[in-house]
Structure 1
C-alpha cells in the first residue's frame, strides 16, 4: 500500500508539473504573441503600407518599452516621409507652371535684348542718314521761304511754293524724330515727383483737338516718393502715349492716369488707360519696333520706339495690355 501511495503521489506530482509547465508555456506563448509577435507584425505591416504610400500612423503598440519606442520612431519617420512626399507632389504639380513661367520670362528677356540690339544698330544708321538729310532740307526751307516772300513771285506759283515749304517742314519734323530716336544724349536727371511731369503733360495736350470729347481723370498716390528722372524726357514719353490714347478715341471716351508704388519691387508705376478701339494682339509685340505704325501716312512709327529707349535709359520698363473694342493700358515702371 505504501508503495502504491508513493506511486500515486509521484504520478500526481508529475502530472501537476507537466500541467504547470504547459500552463507556463501557454502563458509565455500568449505573452510573447501579445508583447512581441503582434507588435513586430504591426511594425512589419506598417512598413509594407508605407512602402505602398499609406501614411497612417501606428496606434496599436503601447508606449513604455523598447517596441513602443520603436513604434514612436516609426511614426516620426512616417510623418517626415509623408511631409516630404507631399512637398514633392506639390512641387511636381507646379513644375509645369514654373517651367512655363520661366520660359515666358526667357522669351521676354530675349525680346527685350533683340529690341535693344535692333534699336542700337538702327540708331547708328539713322543718325547718319538724318544728318545727311538735315542740311539740304534746311537749305530748301530757307530758300523756299525767301522765294515765297519775294514780291516778284508769280501768284500762280505761290501755292506751289507754300506746298514746298509745308512738305519740307514735314520732312524736317521726320528728320528731327529720327535724330531723337538715334541720339544718345546725356540725361539731366534730378529727383522730382512724377506727378509734376504728368500735370505738365496734361496741360499741354488737354486743349488738343483730339481731346475735345475725352474726359481726363487722375488718380495719384499721395505717398509716392520722388524719383531720379529727366523731366523733359519723361514728359516726351507721356505726350507720346497720351496722344496715341487720344487718337484711339475719335468718338470720345475716358483717359485715366494712375500712379502707384510697388515697394516690394522698388519701383513706382504710371498707368495710362484709355477706352479706345484697342490694339490687335498681333501688333502688341511690334509696338516698340522702329518705324512700325498703325496710323498709315500720319505717323513715322518712332514715337513709341523713342519712348521705349527713354524709359530703358531710366532703368524702367513699359508694359502693354489691350482688348479690341475696350481699350488699352500702358504701364510705365521706374525705379525709386
Structure 2
C-alpha cells in the first residue's frame, strides 16, 4: 500500500508539473511572438538588440522548463534544435543577456580566438554559459576589483572555452561535489541543478567540463568540445508553398493575433478561431488548405478537431502546436491523423518552415 500511495502521489505531482509547464509555455509564446512582431516595426538598432535578447531569453526559459521536467534525460528534443553556430557569437549573446547582473566593480575581458562554426544544441549551450557566468558574478560579490575572463581557442581536434574569475574560489572537496544533483554553495539561494544540467549538456555534445580552483584564488571552468571531422554546412533549400488559406485555432488571444499577423505578412490568407467548435463552424462554410491549432483547449481539444477535419475535409492539412509533451515522430503523428507538430514557444520561422514542409 505505501508503494502504491507513493506512486499515485508521484503521478499527481507529474500531472501538476505538466500543467504548470503548459501554462508557462503559453505565456512564453506570447512574449516570443510579440517580440518578433515588434522587430518588424522598429529600425532602431538598440531596440532591435533588446528585442532579440527578450526573444532568446523566452526561448531559453522554455527549454529550461523542459529539462526541469526530466532533469537527467539524454533525449535530444530536451536540448532544443541543433544548428551551425560560432561560439564567439553565442558567448557575446550570453554576455548581453547577463549584463544586468554585472556589478560596476566587475571588469569583463573577452579573449576570442579564430574558431570555426560547430554543429551544436545552441539553446542548451547558452544555458551552460549563462550558468557559469552568473556563478562567476556571484563569486565576485565581495571583490572590489572583480575580473571575468572568457576565452575561446582551437586546441588540436577540440574547441576550448574557458571562463575564469578572481573570486572566492573553492576547495578540492567542493569542486568534487559541484556537478552532483542539489549540491550548492549558495545556501537557500541555490537549487543545485544549474551545474548538474550544464554537465549533462556538455556530455551530450561528447565534450568535457572541468573546474580548476583554489580557495581565495578564483575559479576556471574549462569546456572542451570536439570539432566536426568535416566542417561543411548544409544550405537550406527553399521549399515552394502550396497552402494559401490558413485557419489559426487558439484560445490564447494575444498569441493567436500575433501569429495571424505574421502569417499575413508571409502572404497567407488567415482566418482565426478561438476554439475548436468555432473552427468547425467556419469549416462548414469555408475551404482551408491548412489548419494550425493549439492542442489543449476548452470543450474540444486540437486532437479531436484533427479527427473531425480528416473525416470530413480530406484535402485539409492540420498542424498541432502544444505547450507540453514530447515531439512526435511520424508514427505518432499518423496515429493522431495530423500532418505536423510544433512545441510552444516556437519562433515564427519554425512555424513557416513546418508549413512549407507540410504543404509541399
Tell me which protein shows more helix as a share of its residues: 1
Q: How does the TM-score come out when normalised to structure 2?
A: 0.45
Q: How does the TM-score come out when normalised to structure 1?
A: 0.48
Q: Larger relative contact order (C-alpha < 8 A, sep ≥ 6)? A: 2
Tell me which protein shows more strand as a share of its residues: 2
